[in-house]
Amino acid sequence: MRNRVVITGMGVCAPNGVGLKAFDEALAEGQSGIRFSEELEKLNFGCQIGGTPQVNQELTDRYFSQLEQKGLNSTGMIYGVIAATDAWEDAGLPPANDEPLWNTGIIFGTGILGVDKFRESIYRVDEGNVRRLGSTAVIQTMASGISAFLGGRFGCGNQVTTNSSACITGTEAIIMGAERIRNGLADSMLVGSTSEGGPYVWGGFDAMRILPRNYNDSPEQASRPMSAEAAGFVPGSGAGAFLIESLESALSRNAVIYAEIAGGHINNGGQREGGSMTAPNSNAVQRCIRMALEDAGVNGSQISAINGHLTATAKDSTEISNWKQALELEGGDFPLINSFKGSIGHCLAAAGSIESVGTVLQLHHGRIYKNVNAEPLHPEIKELIDTTKVPVETRYVQPEIIAKASFGFGDVNACVIFKKYNP
Residues 54 and 189 in one domain: yes
How does pLDDT run across 346-376, given as a tens digit for each residue?
999 999 999 999 999 999 999 999 999 999 9
Dihedral of the CA atoms 364, 368, 371, 377 (nearest 10)?
150
* Burial class, 82, CB count within 10 angstroms (exposed 0-12 / middle 13-18 / buried 19+): buried
Residues 248 and 308 in one domain: no
Q: How far apart are CA 184 and CA 392, in angstroms?
A: 42
At residue 77, the pLDDT reads 97
Q: How far apart are CA 192 and CA 12, in angstroms?
A: 10
Number of domains in the chain: 2
Residues 304 and 197 in one domain: no
Q: What's at 197, amino acid-wise? A: G
* Burial class, 217, CB count within 10 angstroms (exposed 0-12 / middle 13-18 / buried 19+): exposed
At residue 363, the pLDDT reads 98
Q: What's at 283, amino acid-wise? A: N
How does pLDDT run across 318-332, given as a tens digit for each residue?
999 999 999 999 888
Strand partners, 266: 414
Residues 65 and 205 in one domain: yes
At residue 368, φ and ψ (nearest 5 deg) are -120, 120
Residues 192 and 311 in one domain: no
Assign residue 304 the CATH number of its domain: 3.40.47.10
Helices of type H across 47-190: 57-63, 66-69, 75-90, 115-126, 137-141, 145-154, 169-182
- Helices 75-90 and 145-154, axial angle in degrees (round to 10): 40
Residues 9 and 147 in one domain: yes
Q: How many residues does the chain have?
A: 423
Is 80 exceeded by the pLDDT of residue 75?
Answer: yes
The answer to pTM > 0.85 is yes
Q: Which sign, positive or negative, has the C-alpha torsion 296, 361, 102, 246? A: negative
Whether the CB-CB separation of 350 and 239 falls below 8 Å is answered with: yes
- Helices 351-365 and 169-182, axial angle in degrees (round to 10): 70
Strand partners, 189: 105, 244
Residues 254 and 297 in one domain: no
Q: How far apart are CA 153 and CA 146, in angstroms?
A: 11
Residues 222 and 268 in one domain: no
Residues 255 and 322 in one domain: no
Question: DSSP assignment of 196-210, as one string?
Answer: --SHHHHHHHHHTT-
At residue 325, the pLDDT reads 98
Of 209, 239, 259, the residue that ends a domain is: 259
Of 199, 230, 259, the residue that ends a domain is: 259
Residues 85 and 226 in one domain: yes
Residues 193 and 320 in one domain: no
How does pLDDT run across 211-256, given as a tens digit for each residue?
999 999 999 999 999 999 999 999 999 999 999 999 999 999 999 9
Residue in 343, 51, 357, 52 with CA at minimum distance from that of residue 192? 357
Of 227, 259, 291, the residue that ends a domain is: 259
- Cis omega (within 30 of 0) on the bond before 376? yes
Residues 276 and 391 in one domain: yes
Q: Domain span at residue 236? A: 5-259
At residue 220, the pLDDT reads 98
Q: How far apart are CA 287 and CA 27, in angstroms?
A: 30
